[in-house]
Amino acid sequence: MGLIQRELDVLTAIVEDYIAKAQPVGSRTVSKSGRVSLSPASIRNTMADLTEKGYLEQPHTSSGRVPTARAYRLYLDQLMRPSPPASPVKEMMAASLGQAGLDMDGVLRQASRILSTVANQVTMVMAPKQANVRWRHIDFVLLRPGLVMAILVLQGGFVQKNLVGVGEGLTGDDLISFGNYLNHHFQNLTVSEVRHRIVAELGRARRELSELTFRALRMALDAFEASDSPEVFVEGTATMFSQPEFSDLAAMREVFKVLQDRTRLLDLLDKTMDQFRTVIMLGTEVQAQDLAGCGVVCSPYGGANGPIGAVSIIGPLRMDYAEVVPLVNYTAQLITTMLSKHF
Encode the chain (343 residues) as per-residue pLDDT tens digits: 589 999 999 999 999 999 999 999 999 899 888 878 888 889 999 999 999 999 999 887 667 899 999 999 999 999 999 999 999 999 999 999 988 876 778 889 999 999 999 999 999 998 887 666 778 888 989 898 888 888 888 776 667 777 888 777 888 888 898 889 888 888 888 887 888 888 888 877 566 767 778 878 888 887 766 555 678 899 998 887 788 877 777 777 778 778 777 777 777 787 777 667 889 999 888 777 778 788 999 999 987 777 888 999 998 999 999 999 999 999 999 998 887 776 5
pTM reported for the whole predicted model: 0.78
Is-contact 236 123, C-beta < 8 A? yes
- Report the pLDDT value the prediction gives residue 1, as an integer from 0 to 100: 59
CA distance 122 to 234: 7
Determine the residue type at 4.
I
Residues 6+ apart with CB under 8 A from 199: 221
Domain ranges of the chain: 5-79, 87-128+230-342, 131-222
Strand partners for 202: none
Task: Supply the CATH classification number for the domain 5-79.
Answer: 1.10.10.10
Q: Which fold has domain 131-222?
A: Enolase-like; domain 1 (3.30.390)
Strand partners for 282: 295
Which top CATH class is 87-128+230-342? alpha beta
